[in-house]
Amino acid sequence: MSNKPQSSTREAELSPKLTLTDEEKLILVAKVSADAIYDWDMVAGLTTWNHGLYTLFGYEGDTVQTHVWWEEHIHPEDKDRVIKSITAAHVAKADYWTDEYRYQRADGTYAFVVDRGYFIYDDDKRPHHQIGALVDITSRVVLAEAQAQSAIEERQRLARDLHDSVTQTLYSLTLIAEATRRHAQNGQLDQVIAQTERLGELSQQSLKEMRLLLFELRLPILEREGLAKALQHRLDAVEKRAGVDANLIVENVDRLPAFVEEGLFYMAYEALNNSLKHAAATKLTVSLRAIDGVVELQVADNGKGFDAQSVSETGGMGLTNLRDRAQKLKAQLEITSTPEKGTSIKIVVDPDFKVSALS
């Protein structure tokens, strides 16, 4: 009598063995994959494509095309390089080849793709098939280019800020120091005292501006820990060290899409810079809220304030930068200020551009 459990025997009887050939496995993968999978018959010069050729590029899928047809759709600036690369892999008897290039869609535009292929050789080590896939990485490339451009713009802005603020302040310090020396030589004590006080004020202002610039160079926390943590870090590193009573209020917001966090952070940064440099505020509050997917960021201080209408017309106080960033983020920008009664800058993400309040 068998010792095998009856249930196991029964399951075995009900589970037919399924064995697939390599060709059958390839056919199944080609059917379920979203990539453009191909089988290039090098002897016949023909390439068989799956439905991904239509999904990714708009051409008829599940079709056979000549190899030349594939070559003709590579971007002219990439074509020679790609052909030489794949030929070199064949000559070297490589098992695997990959490259990145631009491939033309049916509508005439180009997609950025990664092409990965495996070679099958005959008994004489001559390649007769290449089986591979084209993967569309356009969104990744576009995002990387946008981030690179954003980094360039930020470096240019830092250079302008360095020139317009710290450099000018240091130049003023040298002029005042020289004037103070002359007053001292002439025995003009009152002038020496007044100029020395001015030197102290400018030195403090220069220290604030240097802290701002140094903080801008240390922003990995935004990517690593999110907008709320980055804002708190900014208030601790700059405002509180400058003697400002700064508070952060966060409601229903955890992580947001990276481009939203970056846009909101730099807008808050611009508002905080304006408050620190021009408002002489002693207290400010930053609030970050999300209600039904709509995100609201507000920076309010008790500083000098200004005539919002006149400043809006001239584009001063960094308002041009705020407007530009709001436009890129498709956000509403509300600025409320009255001389000697403080300033409030509110950024509201457009309702048509909703994001999830909680990840």
Structure-model confidence comparison of residues 105 and 313, the more confident one = 105
Q: Which long-range contacts (CB under 8 A, 24 or more apart) does 216-222 make?
A: 216/154, 216/158, 216/269, 217/158, 222/261, 222/262, 222/265
Tell me the helix, strand and coil percentages in the chain, rounded to 5. Answer: 55, 25, 25
Query: Residue 121 above 70 pLDDT?
Result: yes
Q: Strand, coil or helix: what is 101?
A: strand
pLDDT in tens, 134-157: 999 888 777 666 666 666 666 676
Q: How many CB atoms lie within 10 A of CB 267?
A: 25
Q: What angle do helix axes 168-185 and 189-216 make, rounded to 10 degrees?
A: 160
- Residue 165's pLDDT is 66
Q: How confident is the model at residue 7 (pLDDT cuts 50, 70, 90)?
A: very low
pLDDT at residue number 2: 46
Among 195-199, 250-254, 307-311, 328-332, the range scoring the smallest mean pLDDT is 307-311
Q: Tell me: pLDDT of 1 over 50.
A: no
pLDDT of res. 157? 67
Question: Among 4-13, 34-43, 71-80, 217-226, where is mean pLDDT lowest?
Answer: 4-13
Nearest alpha-carbon partner for 135 in 104, 113, 111, 110: 113
| pLDDT, mean over the chain | 80
Residue range 287-300: mean pLDDT, rounded = 91
pLDDT value at residue 106: 94
**pLDDT attached to residue 284:** 94
Residue-level pLDDT at 62: 87
Token output for 133: 């896939």
From CA 18, how far away is CA 5, in angstroms rounded? Answer: 23
Under the banding of pLDDT at 50, 70 and 90, the label for residue 216 is low
In this prediction, residue 211 carries a pLDDT of 64
Q: Which residues pair with 116 in a beta bridge?
A: 98, 133
pLDDT in tens, 240-293: 887 889 999 999 888 888 888 888 988 998 898 888 878 888 999 999 998 887
Q: Any idea which of 177-181, 229-233, 249-253 has the lowest mean pLDDT?
A: 177-181
Most confident of 3-7, 14-18, 276-280: 276-280
Residue 102 has pLDDT above 70, yes or no: yes
pLDDT at 79: 95
Residues 6+ apart with CB under 8 A from 72: none
* Predicted confidence band of residue 59 (pLDDT cuts 50, 70, 90): very high
Residue type at 36? A
Per the CB < 8 A criterion, the answer to whether 349 and 355 are in contact is yes
Q: Which letter does DSSP use for residue 61 in this model?
A: S
